[in-house]
Amino acid sequence: MQMVAVLDTTVLFQALRGQGASYYILSLVRQNQIEIILSTAVLFEYQEVLSRPNNLKQFNLKKTQIDSFLAFISYIAKPVVIHFTHKPNLRDETDNKFLELALNGQADYLVTSNINDYKKNADLRPTTLKIVTPAEFLKIWRRKNEN
């Protein structure tokens, strides 16, 4: 059974910069080894953040290339419609959409480099969802799949 994950924008950002665990996670997504889920709100955040001129410069990419990348992400991700919203009162209000997606889509993992943003001052503490860094996620995936 595939692991189902929500990828925070930080993971895609790091993957596009060719960085470590995030880059490897994205390669596993492309190989259909990990299932990712996606909502409209999360896709819009990906687009807004990754298309910023200073980020495009860091990635050495054009906006059309980011658009193609996000079209691919949209194609391979399982869409999730948010039927009910949680108000977890996370420290960074923009992170709520990722937690809402993970809970509505019954994800196993929410993968983020900003793990503290999800664990501090949250009114809602999910019990089945694991919030992990890209490196932690990769270790878990390897334990389950490379033995």
Cα separations in angstroms, 102 against 23, 61, 107: 21, 29, 5
35-53 confidence digits (pLDDT tens): 999 999 999 999 999 999 9
Which one has a higher pLDDT value, 120 or 144?
144
Tokens linked to 124: 């809602």
Q: From CA 138, how far away is CA 88, in angstroms rounded? A: 26
* Residue 92, pLDDT above cutoff 70: no
- How many angstroms separate the Cα of 91 from the Cα of each of 13, 43, 134, 147? 20, 21, 20, 38
pLDDT band at 84; cut points 50, 70, 90: low
Residues in the chain: 147
Are residues 83 and 104 in contact, defined by beta-carbon separation less than 8 angstroms? Answer: yes
Return the DSSP state at 122.
-
Mean pLDDT of the chain: 88
pLDDT of residue 88: 59
> CA-to-CA distance for 111 and 117, rounded, in angstroms?
12
Residue 126: Cβ-neighbour burial (10 angstroms; 0-12, 13-18, 19+): middle
What's the whole-number mean pLDDT along residues 60-85? 92
pLDDT: is 21 or 92 the higher one? 21
Q: Taking 70 as the threshold, does the pLDDT of residue 120 lie above it?
A: no
